[in-house]
Structure 1
């Protein structure tokens, strides 16, 4: 579904991504792991059209999308839920959800709000509430729900667990697993290594803008050197 080859990018003279190759098949959860500042969010921003690469190729469903606008990429079904939630605090939960369908699936807004409310019962209770008054966990639910409103074929979740309590982190990962079991393909960009590996089919570990490791969670968890060097599990 997604094939990224030789992706290079940076800011002014500072290279951030140094030839990144990543692939995702339909129906997978693929985790992109690494500590803060290694280039994960830059990668997600380029794939979703928010930034432009220096070099490399991004193909989605067999079509070259490198350099397309974020609007054009959304219309093709590749949706990103950004780090930091970025809900519209002065709009209601319902209005935030409706904006998620602005570029795609607009005609099905009412139907999809009902689907989101079934996934997130707490949002159903707060549809008329201003988004800025929600808790951090509820705002993250709203951000994911807003992404779901566009009927994504591939959903990029950038650090969905950041800033959440341990209990809400467990809940968030259970939700991601459930969305995948319902057929959604997901790229999970995360620092939370252990819980990401519990739900991912495959994982890539990024360090200093390069993919240093890739494979199944079992392959990563079973190698003591990999644990010590890249996963911080020693």
Structure 2
């Protein structure tokens, strides 16, 4: 579904990504792991057309999207739920969800709102509530629900567990697993190594803008030397 080869990009004179290769097959959860500041969010921005590529190629669902803008990429079904949620606090939950179907999924908007409510019962109870009054966990659910409104072929989740309590983190990862079991392909961009590896099929470890390690998530989870060397785990 996604093939990234030699991807380079950055901000101004600073090159953040230095030739990144990643692939994702349909139906997988693939985790992109690494500490803060290694280039994970920059990678997600390049995939989504929010930053220009300086080198390399991106193919998504048979299309070369290397030079496409964000609108066209969304229309093809590559949808990102950004770090920090970025909901519209003064709009209601329903209005936030409706905006998720602005570029894609508009014909099925009403049915998809019902489906999001079934996936997130707490949101269904708050459809007419201002989004800014939701708890942090509920706002993250809303951000993911808004992404689902666009009927994604591939959903990028950028740090979905950040700022959540341990109990809500458990709930969030269970939800991500369930979305995948329902057929959604997911790129999970995370600092939470252990729980990401527990639900992912494969993982890539990024360091200083490069992929240092990749493989089956289960093998990474079980390799103590790899955990010490690359993942900062004891």
TM-score band by shorter chain is: over 0.9
Q: Name the structure 2 match of 1:95.
A: 95
Q: Name the structure 1 match of 2:197.
A: 197
| Residue segments in structure 1 that go unaligned for 5+ positions in a row | none
- Kindly indicate whether the alpha-carbon contact (under 8 Å) linking 2:198 and 2:218 is maintained by their aligned counterparts in 1: no
| Residue segments in structure 2 that go unaligned for 5+ positions in a row | none
Q: Name the structure 2 match of 1:160.
A: 160
Q: Aligned partners of 1:92 and 1:135: how far apart in 2?
A: 14
Q: Aligned partners of 2:139 and 2:78: how far apart in 1?
A: 21
Q: CA deviation at 1:31?
A: 0.1
Q: Aligned partners of 1:218 and 1:183: how far apart in 2?
A: 21
Q: Name the structure 1 match of 2:29.
A: 29
What SS does structure 1 have at the residue aligned with 2:155? Answer: strand
Q: Deviations over 1:183-213 (max 9, x none)?
A: 0000000000000000000000000000000
Q: Aligned partners of 1:105 and 1:169: how far apart in 2?
A: 28
Q: Deviations over 1:209-232 (max 9, x none)?
A: 000000012221233321111111
Q: Aligned partners of 2:138 and 2:103: how far apart in 1?
A: 24
Give the root-mean-square deviation of aligned CA atoms.
Answer: 0.7
Q: Mapping of 1:134-173 within 5 angstroms? A: 134-173=134-173
TM normalised by structure 2 equals 0.99
Q: Name the structure 1 match of 2:58.
A: 58
Q: Name the structure 1 match of 2:110.
A: 110
Q: Aligned partners of 1:87 and 1:222: how far apart in 2?
A: 37
